[in-house]
Amino acid sequence: MNILVAKNVGFCFGVKRALDLVLKLLEENKKVYLLGDLVHNNNVMNHLKQKGAETISLSDVPHDAKDSVLVVRAHGVPPEDLQFAKMHFGQVVDTTCPIVQRLFQLAKKMSEEGYKILTFGKKEHPEMIALKGYVKDAFIEQNPIELSGKVCLLSQTTMSIEEYKQFASKVMEISNVNEFRMFNTICRVSAEREAETRQIAQQSDVVIVVGGKHSSNTKKLVAIAEKYAKVIHVEGADEVDQNDLSNYKTIGVVSGTSTPYEDVKKIIEKLLSGRESHGY
């Protein structure tokens, strides 16, 4: 049995930055409220909750808000929510990923310049809900739509670049625009993992994708790996059964950007111990 581990595993810098900010607050013994999941990873969320952080929504402001810190998650929130939070909480810490923040600012600027904003993304994803806060009439679509006039195309940061190109190409074909702008707002770190996953899956019989079941960037890796190999999507080592994997010659291991490096490491250790017990 060969194990192919991706070069880029563990947290991306945006997630690491968000977590460091929260852990620092917790170490300072601050009362920390999280505005929704900081990142899409249950292990990470459970860890933070054990340390005292609480997840809340703005419809239910806690009684000790003025003595607490509200942490805005990595996916960002609509600006109204940020304003509301600042009015009600003693302190507000914004952990919005800088790459996501750039997307919001671009959407806002282009909208102010008279462009219709069409974003390749998932309507229900927190990043897209936040974006709609910046540009109320932005179109959030996964399938191409026909537009006219001045059109600006953006993408949720965790979408597939290849699919974004197909989407943009089709919009261009079916629309009648006077002016068309397209920005590659896809996270480069996430795109690199996408390319790496493709490469690893092509050489593997089975790929273990480690990451949150609700994580958009992790689900993207699953979809890519599935084109080339059998896929097992897990959040942690306890979901991996080395007996089920004993028949595979080459096992690939990749992870989403909100997955702790420790989770990946534990899985590799399990696979290696499995190797021993089977006499490889």
Binding residues (CB under 8 A) for a second copy: these are 153, 161, 165-166, 168-170, 172-173, 175-184
Active site residue 141: no
Rounded CA-CA distance 161/191 in Å is 7
Least distance (Å) between residue 135 CB and a second copy: 18
231 phi and psi, to 5 degrees? -125, 140
Nearer to a second copy, 173 or 276 (CB): 173
217 is in an annotated binding site: yes
97 is in an annotated binding site: yes
The catalytic position among 80, 112, 113, 127 is 127
Least distance (Å) between residue 74 CB and a second copy: 23
Q: Which of 86, 93, 117 is nearest to 26 (CA)?
A: 93
Least distance (Å) between residue 106 CB and a second copy: 10
Nearer to a second copy, 3 or 172 (CB): 172
Least distance (Å) between residue 167 CB and a second copy: 10
215 is in an annotated binding site: yes
DSSP 104-151: HHHHHHHHHTTPEEEEES-TTSHHHHHHHHHSTT-EEESS----EEEE
214 is in an annotated binding site: no
Structure token digits, residue 140: 């959030």
* Long-range CB contact pairs, 77-84, < 8 A, 24+: 77/35, 77/36, 77/126, 77/130, 77/133, 78/129, 78/130, 78/132, 78/133, 78/134, 79/133, 79/134, 80/133, 81/35, 81/133, 84/58
Q: Which of 136, 151, 138, 121 is nearest to 216 (CA)?
A: 121
233 is in an annotated binding site: no
Nearer to a second copy, 27 or 173 (CB): 173
175 is in an annotated binding site: no
Rounded CA-CA distance 204/211 in Å is 19
- Residue type, position 89, single letter: F
CA distances from 235 to 41, 97, 170, 174, 273 (A): 8, 22, 35, 40, 19
258 is in an annotated binding site: yes
Least distance (Å) between residue 161 CB and a second copy: 8
Nearer to a second copy, 168 or 209 (CB): 168
Nearer to a second copy, 89 or 167 (CB): 167
∠ CA 32-21-82, nearest 5°, is 65
Enumerate the known binding-site residues.
Answer: 12, 40, 75, 97, 125, 157, 187, 215-217, 258
Enumerate the known binding-site residues for dimethylallyl diphosphate.
Answer: 40, 75, 125, 215-217, 258
Active site residues: 127
Enumerate the known binding-site residues for isopentenyl diphosphate.
Answer: 40, 75, 125, 215-217, 258
